[in-house]
Structures are given as structure tokens and as C-alpha cells.
Chains A and B, each alone.
Chain A
Amino acid sequence: MRAPTFEKGNSPEDRKQHTVLELTVNNHPGVMSHVCGLFSRRAYNVEGILCMPTGDGSRSRIWLLVDRDRRLDQMIKQVMKLRDVIEVQSRGVDHQVFLDLEEFFRMGRIQA
């Protein structure tokens, strides 16, 4: 099995065109479907996705590595309409969460 790579989507050049959205959401089944379904049906590219429960587990945080193009504002507005999305923040592409993950994948590949 081939390890996933970030080479295509996350090279320094590509990364300039990306940004990280940080979503605070209610943690119950179906929320991920709502978020991912929204991006796919509006034909908006998601390069990376991470999700973890926070605090007491009633909420989760989702980080999305997405294209930074003219439709980004529109996508943020669409995401904010989802009932289970409590907050959306736009982080820079250099947000630690994906940089650390990139490192993790790189190590994984060396071991493979």
C-alpha cells in the first residue's frame, strides 16, 4: 500500500494558494458528512482534513486545508449556515496542524 503523500497538494508553491479553515462543530454523528458533503457538492476542493473532539467531547474541531481562491468567502458563508457549525476561523496556510501532519507523513514514508 502506498503511503499518502502531500507532494502534489502541499509543495511550497501550492501551499501559497491554500489556507486553513478551523471549524468548531457539535460533536455528533453526521456532522462530518454535512461539512464534507457541502464542499463536494459545491465543487470546492479540500486538500486535507483533520478532526478531533475537544474539551468534554461535546464539540469537535475540524481543520480543512482548502484552496485560497475567489470562492473562499462564499464557501465560508456556506459553512456558517450549517446548524452544527458553531464557529469558522480562517487561519494562515502555515497553521501548525498541517505542518506537523506533513512531518508525520514524511516520517511514515521513510519507515515504509
Chain B
Amino acid sequence: MKMTGAQIIVHLLERQGISAIAGIPGGANLPIYDALARRGTIQHVLARHEQGAGFIAQGMARVSGSPQVCFATSGPGVTNILTSIADAKLDSIPVICITGQVPRAMIGTDAFQEVDTYGMSIPITKHNFLVRSASELLEVVPEAFRIAASGRPGPVLIDVPKDVQTEEAEFEAWPEPGRPGPSPDLAMADLIRAAGLINSAKRPILYLGGGIMHSGSAEAAASFAEKGSIPITMTLMGLGAIPTDHPLAIGMLGMHAAGYTNMALEECDLLIAAGVRFDDRATGRVGEFCPNARIIHIDIDPSELDKIKAAHVGIVGDVGRALSMLLPLIEASTRSEWLDRIAALKARYPLEMSNGHNLCAPYGLIRHVAGLLDDSAIVATDVGQHQMWTAQVYPLRRPRQWLTSGGLGTMGFGIPAAIGAALAEPDRVIVCFSGDGSLMMNIQELATAVEQNVNVKIVLMDNSSLGLVRQQQDLFYGRRVYASIFQRRADFVKIAEGFGMSAFDLEPDGDRKAELAQAFSRPGPCLIRVPIDPDEKVYPMVPPGAANKEMIGGKTYACAHI
């Protein structure tokens, strides 16, 4: 066979099962676009900014669990897309980013739209390639897919000079598509030691993170917890691993946890950390996190063990397999004393859902939207107060239902990620909770949503502020609220309509319930703007750098014992 580099790329992506690619064409990747057009087998989703393209690919990957692809041209195309790639790195999302580069002979000459893509992408990718010949693509592309999906997933960038795209290569046969490699073998001795700790623990807690989604082990985690009657807390990335109404679920931990969740962690004597990385937003001041607990840490990435917190038993391997192998080793137990204690803590320090029935207030709005949807819906968020409120009260009940930017906390994530989710799962409703600050960081993707006619409902909580910044200034900077209020209100309904999207304005005096129901009853994209009191805060809140028991808001948590 004889083909150009660009044709080889398109064929290899097809062979990987890629059916849609988000991107933006430009001078340095036009040969790939030409090959894509001529071949006509893969749908191209034209984003309006490369960051949007990266997040659309992320949305597809987060929902499907398989690596997804985005394209950008050299120079500004690359610098624009890097934020979404860094975001994928922090949340371990398998994304393949293929970028155009200036021709080989011009690399290093400060050519037009040249940046050091390879150098800039090293710290924010799992791995990256600068392809030096068309034939090299036959090895690099499958290898990129293998790397992205193996072990702890992550983004891989492939930088392809324009003359490599047009160069012809002769080859005998197609390589096998890149598939995830086997996960490491589990050490039985470690599992036995872990089971010993679990069986002798009086007050264990299972701490689940995003690794549960990546390994597809929600069921294994539930069986494990149920056999030992072990309460379960989830990180922001772990939400959906266990239904929030599961009798053993004690909610999200950390900075905006319900009081009882953090207080239970204070008292636990064994923390079983599965697919988590002890992120500072989850642990608070790490020296005081779970002060009385021994730690079992299970992760497929060996460098996560002992990184933040030393584990008494560290298990490297697939978290689902580890939990399944632990299941026969642990004793069935009711742990009624501990569960009673948790119930008492919950009664004493519940999540105080103020205005839980008021449609004009965040919790009421979120709960009401949830009431209009069933478990098949996908919930995306942007970053800020609306994200934390949604994490606190949306009844998430299944893995991959929840799309949020956890590690990098990228405002502007929501809409393009929701578009990607809708492209991957066209039969589902996607609701995207956003704020006005976040929305404006990738507002141009409203055009993409309309063009693709995706079933995305954007619920915009509009407080004309950078709410979480304002909250911190109110609480920790002497109420000097500065540079966090938008002096001029934008008319988001008009903006959405300008993009051709239907829009609803839920003013407090209108029939909000009826309008919401109407918005959700029609297929296709829409924006629902809801004015929110700018003084609304996310409570409880652990001040940055403080221990998790030092929560602000609601009740005093100074004393752990009732």
C-alpha cells in the first residue's frame, strides 16, 4: 500500500473505531482535513475554539470510557487546546490530540504559527510524540491509543509536521489497533494483609474516586461495601460510583462535604482508598486527615501510593479486580455500632439544604431539574458555586453520569463537554449546570451545540459574579469584594437566541415550574437562565489549607463527639 501521512492517520483512526472528531482546521493540518473529507467515514464536529474541541473530545471520552480524538492546527491552535489537554491529564481522561506542525525543515526557525508543541505538551500529557516520517505514524497512532487507555488513562498528543502529512509511505499491512495493555498482577500477600485490617476494623470507610469509573468497578465496590457494611464516601470525580441514596453512601468528602461526612472520616479507624489520589480539596490539611485511621490504598498508578499519605497497605493494580479479590477474604459484618454512629452524626451534622424546595434558590432549582429527569440523564457542570451545589444535592446514581472538571477546575468545561456527551450518547438528555462566569469562558460553543442539534439543556445560574471568588473574598479577605462582580449584566437569553438556540428566562415572578418543564420537554439544545442571589454561598466550606473538621457555615464542628 502507498498512502500519504494524512491518509494513514485517517485510516488508523477509523480502525480504532473513531466515529467523530472535534477540531478546527488551519494551515498546518489541512492535509489531514483533506484526507478526512475525501474518506468521508468519520464525522467532523467543527468547534468554535480549539479548547472547545478538546472538551468535546473529553465529553465523548468521559461518557464512553474509550479514547476520543481532537484536532488543532499549529501555533495558536495548539496553545488554545492545551487547557483542555491539561484538564484531561488531571482527571485521567483518554484523549488523543493530533496537532499540525510547520514542515520539518522549518521547525526551530520561528516560522509562521510555529510553537514548540512537543516541549509545551510534555508536562500536561501522559505521553507525546513529534512524528518525523509518514511511516512512523503506523507505529505512533496505535501506540498513542494504547498509552491513553492503559493503566491510569490520560491524554496523548501527536504533533505531525505538514510535510509528514503529505509525504507518501509504502507499507505491507495495517498495524493492529492500539488497545489497553493488561493491568499489573495483584500481590496476594498484600490483599491478605488488607483483608486482615478490614476484618479487624471497627470503623472503616471506603473512599472511592474517579478510578472506579475508569476500571468499571462500581458494582465490585458496592458488593465489597455491602458485605462488610462499610460506609462509602466519594470524591468529586467518584460521584455516581454508588447511588447517593444507597444506605451506605455518606456523600462527597472534603471542602464542600456535608458536615457528617467529614466528621465520620475524623472518627474512622480504617480508610480504604480505592482509585483516589488524596487530592487536597478532598483531604483538607493532609496531616489532620483521618487522624485515627490506618490506610489501605489501591491504585493502578504505583506513583500515587505514598505520594501524599503513606499507606499501611499499598496495592498496585486494577481497583475493580482488587475489590473483587478482597470480597471472599473479608468477613460479612453488620457493623451496627459504627453505622449507628454514622446515623447519629448525620442527624447532628446534615447537609443543610436551605431553600430545598424554592425554585429561585440553587438547591431547589437543582433538585427540581433532577425531578424532571431520570437516571439515564447525563449531568455536566462548569466550575464554581453551581458545580459544588450540584455535586452536593444532585441524586447521581450511576457511573459516567457525572461530567465535571475536577483536578484542573476549568471554567468553560461544561458546554463543550456536554456537547461531546450528547454526540456519544444521542439518546440521552444532557443537562449542563453552569454559571455566568463559566459560560462566558466558552460561550462560542453555543454555536456548535446548535449546529450539531445536540440534546443539551443548559441551566445557567446567573448571579453576575464569579461566585466562588466572591465567596472567598467575603469569607477570607475582609469582605473586600473586588474584581468578582460583573458591572454590566449580559443578556444571556438574547445571546443564546443570537446563536440560534432557544432560550428561557426564569424570572422569580413567572411560572418557573411550567417554564422549566416546557424547556425540558422539547428535544434539542436550549438555555435556561435563572437569576441567583449573588449572596448565596456554598456551605459548609473548609477554608483552603485548613483541616476538614474546621468547616465554616451551618453548625460548629469543633467537637467531634456528641
A81 within 8 A of B: yes
**CB of A31 to closest CB in B, whole Å:** 11
Contact A78 B303 (CB under 8 A): yes
Binds B, one of A8-16, A33-41, A103-111: A33-41
Residues of A within 8 A of B305 (CB): 77
Contact B306 A74 (CB under 8 A): yes
Contact with A73, one of B119, B130, B306 (Cβ below 8 angstroms): B306
**CB of A62 to closest CB in B, whole Å:** 16
| Assembly CA distance A83 to B306 (angstroms) | 22
| Assembly CA distance A33 to B120 (angstroms) | 10
Contact with A81, one of B119, B122, B123, B301 (Cβ below 8 angstroms): B301
Contact with B127, one of A29, A77, A83 (Cβ below 8 angstroms): A83
**CB of B94 to closest CB in A, whole Å:** 15
B118 within 8 A of A: yes
Which chain B residues (278-332) contact chain A, with CB distance < 8 Å?
301-303, 305-307
A4 within 8 A of B: no
**CB of B67 to closest CB in A, whole Å:** 16
Contact A74 B130 (CB under 8 A): no
| Assembly CA distance A83 to B147 (angstroms) | 9
Residues of B within 8 A of A37 (CB): 122-123
Residues of B within 8 A of A29 (CB): 130
Looking at chain B, what size class is its interface with the partner chain?
Answer: 10 to 19
* Most central of B118, B122, B147 by chain A CB within 10 Å: B122
Residues of B within 8 A of A41 (CB): 123
Which chain B residues (120-161) contact chain A, with CB distance < 8 Å?
122-123, 127-128, 130, 147
Which chain A residues (49-85) contact chain B, with CB distance < 8 Å?
73-74, 77-78, 80-81, 83
Closest B residue, CB atoms, query A84 = B127
Residues of B within 8 A of A33 (CB): 118-119, 122
| Assembly CA distance A77 to B122 (angstroms) | 17
Residues of B within 8 A of A83 (CB): 127, 147
Contact B303 A77 (CB under 8 A): yes
| Assembly CA distance A61 to B119 (angstroms) | 21
User: Interface digits, B145-183 against A, CB 8 Å rule (1 contact, 0 not)?
Assistant: 001000000000000000000000000000000000000
Contact B302 A30 (CB under 8 A): no
Residues of A within 8 A of B123 (CB): 37, 41
| Assembly CA distance A77 to B128 (angstroms) | 19
Closest A residue, CB atoms, query B310 = A70
Residues of B within 8 A of A77 (CB): 302-303, 305
Residues of A within 8 A of B301 (CB): 81
Residues of A within 8 A of B128 (CB): 30
Contact A81 B130 (CB under 8 A): no
Contact B122 A34 (CB under 8 A): yes
Residues of A within 8 A of B119 (CB): 33
| Assembly CA distance A83 to B122 (angstroms) | 12
Residues of A within 8 A of B130 (CB): 29-30
| Assembly CA distance A88 to B302 (angstroms) | 15
User: Interface digits, A6-32 against B, CB 8 Å rule (1 contact, 0 not)?
Assistant: 000000000000000000000001100
Residues of B within 8 A of A30 (CB): 118, 122, 128, 130
Decide yes or no: A74 and B307 within 8 Å by CB, A81-B301, A83-B147 being known contacts. Answer: yes
**CB of B546 to closest CB in A, whole Å:** 23
Closest A residue, CB atoms, query B307 = A74
* Most central of B123, B128, B303 by chain A CB within 10 Å: B303
**CB of A32 to closest CB in B, whole Å:** 11
| Assembly CA distance A4 to B308 (angstroms) | 36
Residues of A within 8 A of B147 (CB): 83
| Assembly CA distance A37 to B123 (angstroms) | 7
Which chain B residues (80-101) contact chain A, with CB distance < 8 Å?
none
**CB of B233 to closest CB in A, whole Å:** 25
**CB of B394 to closest CB in A, whole Å:** 34
**CB of B76 to closest CB in A, whole Å:** 22
**CB of B451 to closest CB in A, whole Å:** 37
Residues of A within 8 A of B302 (CB): 77, 80-81
Residues of B within 8 A of A73 (CB): 306
Residues of B within 8 A of A74 (CB): 303, 306-307
User: Interface digits, A79-107 against B, CB 8 Å rule (1 contact, 0 not)?
Assistant: 01101000000000000000000000000
**CB of A12 to closest CB in B, whole Å:** 30
| Assembly CA distance A94 to B305 (angstroms) | 29
| Assembly CA distance A83 to B301 (angstroms) | 14
| Assembly CA distance A33 to B129 (angstroms) | 12
| Assembly CA distance A82 to B477 (angstroms) | 42
Which chain B residues (256-281) contact chain A, with CB distance < 8 Å?
none
Closest A residue, CB atoms, query B156 = A83
| Assembly CA distance A89 to B127 (angstroms) | 22
| Assembly CA distance A73 to B127 (angstroms) | 22
| Assembly CA distance A98 to B237 (angstroms) | 45
**CB of B135 to closest CB in A, whole Å:** 15
Which chain B residues (97-123) contact chain A, with CB distance < 8 Å?
118-119, 122-123
| Assembly CA distance A29 to B128 (angstroms) | 12
**CB of B112 to closest CB in A, whole Å:** 23
| Assembly CA distance A29 to B306 (angstroms) | 32
Residues of B within 8 A of A81 (CB): 301-303
Residues of A within 8 A of B118 (CB): 30, 33
**CB of B299 to closest CB in A, whole Å:** 11
**CB of A2 to closest CB in B, whole Å:** 28
Closest B residue, CB atoms, query A41 = B123
| Assembly CA distance A80 to B305 (angstroms) | 14
Closest B residue, CB atoms, query A82 = B127
| Assembly CA distance A78 to B123 (angstroms) | 12
Sample (18) of A-B pairs whose CB atoms are under 8 Å apart = A30-B118, A30-B122, A30-B130, A33-B118, A33-B119, A33-B122, A34-B122, A41-B123, A73-B306, A74-B303, A74-B307, A77-B302, A78-B303, A80-B302, A80-B303, A81-B301, A81-B302, A83-B127
Known: A74-B307, A83-B127. 17 other contacts (CB 8 A): A29-B130, A30-B118, A30-B130, A33-B119, A33-B122, A34-B122, A37-B123, A73-B306, A74-B303, A74-B306, A77-B302, A77-B303, A78-B303, A80-B303, A81-B301, A81-B302, A83-B147
4 smallest beta-carbon distances between A and B, as pairs:
A77-B303, A37-B122, A83-B127, A78-B303
